[in-house]
């Protein structure tokens, strides 16, 4: 949650690299030719041969690394410098079998001034950050297993290159301070543009501190006002307990959709920045839900169920708005939420429902809370603090839990008649009072969390009633990671 500097080459990393390991020697086996390997496969069986193949690679070159356990010397990392694939013809460096190439040592790949490079199928076990610098673009990390050294303060992957794709990887097994995946940019305020993070599995971060162990940190406070246009979708988070923020957004104009967070301390937190869409995410059986700061966010179609903490928080601000040129101390503060749309969400059987905050001076303003479904058995379903110009309409409340301080006229008390599907998600039955009861126009959504079209008469909550099986559902490990479709 607060910014931490990621470790680069250190004595700790050098010591880890010096451990004796079995596997192919650095200078052994076949070497590649020095000719450019444009558009053909090159098989290598040593790190020397791999480096030579990289140095000779051009568009559509595919370098296949023989399975084995390799230790990369600290003074000779695998360097990808001045190498450029092209759109549709990247330079691909791939393990012979997924996870079959283990890369140990202080560093593995070091990239510089390169584009359209794919790294696929590796088991990364290095002791410093895998960095994708701003001198690069169109880098893809796919189908890798990442369990870097469990060193205090070490961030595992830092993306600062535009148009990076991080997909179908497994990040797992960290117990110390440090994040799995960070997205930043050039200089002190820039953000990498159009980063796409999808179909990854983030699991088992067990850092017990109060902050600093996020699976994904999308920006940091000095970069809050910078637009990133990142898309984070179809990722699975399990036992993400290193931080209350599983997806920590600290930049502007991003999309967070169709992710599943299960059995985790962390939730989705719009901590800094403006203009982010949070759409069709499942947060199930964990602790934290959704927390909102900043302006002009859209929160739609999310399903939050069985959380032991606060399901959704419309925060308060230490600042009314972040502005260019403000001090570092002011930038770290919370920006009061303004002009937020919260619609078509389902909050079911959580310890806390929709709530506010009162410990900062600036209240949220101009927020619309419409067509949401709140169901609970204890406490109050809505517990807001000070608000200004809130619009409440079309919400349905049900259960033994109290209404709380939701204004009269902003809701209906009715049984939504939910039933649990085989995936455990509670959806509307055909006699539900939520069907056709949505009130907000123009329609803020065209589809529901299942992928079903909303139609002309929309239903309240995240689910639109349909008799056909759901197209989308909570993700499982089979849907994500190195072996995902």
Report the CATH number that the domain containing residue 340 is assigned in CATH: 2.160.20.10
Rounded distance between C-alpha atoms, residue 324 and residue 144, angstroms: 38
pLDDT for 176 beyond 80: yes
Output the six-digit token pair for 200. Answer: 């990854």
Q: Is the CB of residue 334 less than 8 Å from the CB of residue 313?
A: no
pLDDT for 6 beyond 70: no
Q: What is the pLDDT of residue 37?
A: 63
Average confidence (pLDDT) over 33-43: 68
Residues counted in the chain: 485
Residues 6+ apart with CB under 8 A from 34: 52, 55, 56
Q: If you search the block for the tokens 């749309």, which residue do you land on? A: 341
Determine how many CB atoms are found less than 10 A away from the CB of residue 468: 7
How distant is the alpha carbon of residue 291 from its chain centre? 15
Q: Sorting pLDDT into bands at 50, 70 and 90, what band is 234?
A: very high
Question: Does 19 fall in a domain?
Answer: no
Question: Does 4 fall in a domain?
Answer: no
484's torsion region: left (phi>0), alpha (psi -120 to 50) or beta? beta
pLDDT for 39 beyond 80: no
Q: What is the pLDDT of residue 22?
A: 31
Rounded distance between C-alpha atoms, residue 449 and residue 428, angstroms: 12
pLDDT for 439 beyond 60: yes
Q: Is the dihedral of CA 315, 316, 317, 318 positive or negative?
A: negative
Question: Does 2 fall in a domain?
Answer: no
* Closest to 58 in 3D by CA, of 32, 36, 80: 36
Percent of the chain with pLDDT over 90: 90
Phi, psi at 140, each rounded to 5°: -120, 125
Q: What is the pLDDT of residue 163?
A: 98
Model-level pTM?
0.92
Question: Does 12 fall in a domain?
Answer: no
Average confidence (pLDDT) over 445-474: 96
Q: Sorting pLDDT into bands at 50, 70 and 90, what band is 36?
A: low
pLDDT for 15 beyond 80: no
For the chain, the domain total comes to 1
Q: Is the CB of residue 312 less than 8 Å from the CB of residue 354?
A: yes
Q: What is the pLDDT of residue 210?
A: 86
Question: Does 194 fall in a domain?
Answer: yes
Question: Does 443 fall in a domain?
Answer: yes
Question: Does 155 fall in a domain?
Answer: yes
Let me know if 157 is exposed, middle or buried by CB neighbors in 10 A (0-12, 13-18, 19+). buried
**Which DSSP state fits 215?**
S
Mean pLDDT of the chain: 92
Output the six-digit token pair for 471. Answer: 């197209």
pLDDT for 340 beyond 80: yes
Q: Sorting pLDDT into bands at 50, 70 and 90, what band is 445?
A: very high
Q: Is the peptide bond before 442 cis (omega within 30 degrees of 0)?
A: yes
pLDDT for 17 beyond 60: no
pLDDT for 28 beyond 60: no
Residues 6+ apart with CB under 8 A from 136: 111, 112, 113, 114, 115, 117, 161
pLDDT for 21 beyond 70: no
pLDDT for 26 beyond 50: no
pLDDT per residue as tens digits for the range 347-391: 999 999 999 999 999 999 999 999 999 999 999 999 999 999 999
**Which DSSP state fits 350?**
-
Question: Does 10 fall in a domain?
Answer: no
Percent of the chain with pLDDT over 70: 92
Residues 6+ apart with CB under 8 A from 237: 202, 203, 215, 246, 247, 259, 260, 261, 262, 264, 266
Residue-number span of the structural domain to which 251 is assigned:
24-479
Strand 352-356 with 380-383, pairing: parallel
């Amino acid at each position: 949650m607060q910014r931490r500097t990621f470790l680069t080459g250190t004595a700790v990393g050098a010591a880890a690299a010096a451990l004796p390991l079995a596997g192919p020697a650095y200078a052994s086996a076949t070497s590649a030719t020095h000719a450019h390997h444009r558009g053909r496969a090159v098989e290598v069986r040593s790190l020397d041969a791999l480096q030579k193949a990289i140095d000779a690679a051009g568009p559509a070159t595919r370098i296949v690394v023989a399975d084995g356990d390799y230790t990369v010397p600290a003074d000779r990392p695998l360097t990808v410098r001045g190498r450029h694939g092209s759109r549709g013809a990247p330079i691909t460096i791939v393990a012979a079998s997924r996870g079959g190439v283990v890369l140990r040592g202080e560093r593995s790949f070091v990239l510089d001034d390169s584009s359209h490079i794919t790294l696929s199928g590796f088991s990364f076990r290095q002791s410093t950050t895998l960095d994708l610098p701003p001198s690069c673009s169109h880098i893809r990390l796919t189908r890798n297993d990442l369990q870097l050294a469990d060193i205090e303060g070490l961030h595992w992957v830092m993306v600062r290159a535009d148009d990076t794709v991080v997909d179908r990887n497994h990040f797992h097994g960290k117990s110390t301070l440090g994040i799995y995946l960070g997205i930043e940019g050039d200089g002190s305020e820039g953000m990498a543009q159009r980063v796409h993070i999808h179909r990854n599995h983030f699991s088992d971060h067990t850092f017990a501190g109060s902050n600093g162990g996020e699976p994904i940190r999308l920006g940091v406070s000095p970069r809050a006002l910078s637009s990133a246009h990142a898309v984070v979708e179809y990722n699975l988070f399990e036992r993400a307990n290193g931080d209350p923020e599983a997806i920590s957004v600290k930049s502007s104009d991003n999309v967070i959709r169709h992710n599943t967070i299960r059995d985790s301390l962390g939730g989705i937190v719009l901590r800094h920045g403006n203009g982010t869409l949070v759409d069709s995410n499942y947060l199930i059986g964990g602790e934290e839900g959704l927390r909102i700061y900043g302006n002009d966010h859209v929160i739609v179609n999310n399903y939050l169920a069985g959380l032991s903490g606060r399901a959704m928080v419309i925060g308060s601000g230490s600042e009314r708005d972040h502005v260019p040129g403000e001090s570092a101390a002011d930038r770290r503060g919370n920006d009061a939420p303004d002009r937020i749309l919260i619609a078509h969400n389902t909050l079911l059987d959580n310890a806390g429902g929709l709530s506010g905050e009162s410990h900062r001076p600036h209240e949220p303003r101009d927020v619309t809370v419409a067509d949401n479904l709140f169901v609970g058995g204890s406490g109050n379903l809505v517990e807001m603090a000070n608000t200004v110009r809130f619009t409440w309409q079309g919400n349905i409340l049900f259960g033994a839990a109290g209404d709380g301080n939701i204004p009269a006229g902003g809701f209906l008390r009715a049984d939504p008649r939910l039933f649990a599907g085989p995936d455990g998600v509670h959806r509307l039955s055909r006699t539900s009072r939520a069907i056709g009861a949505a009130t907000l126009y123009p329609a803020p959504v065209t589809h529901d969390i299942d992928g079903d079209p909303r139609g002309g008469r929309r239903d309240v909550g995240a689910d639109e009633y349909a008799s056909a099986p759901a197209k989308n559902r909570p993700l499982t490990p089979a849907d994500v990671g190195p072996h995902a479709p």
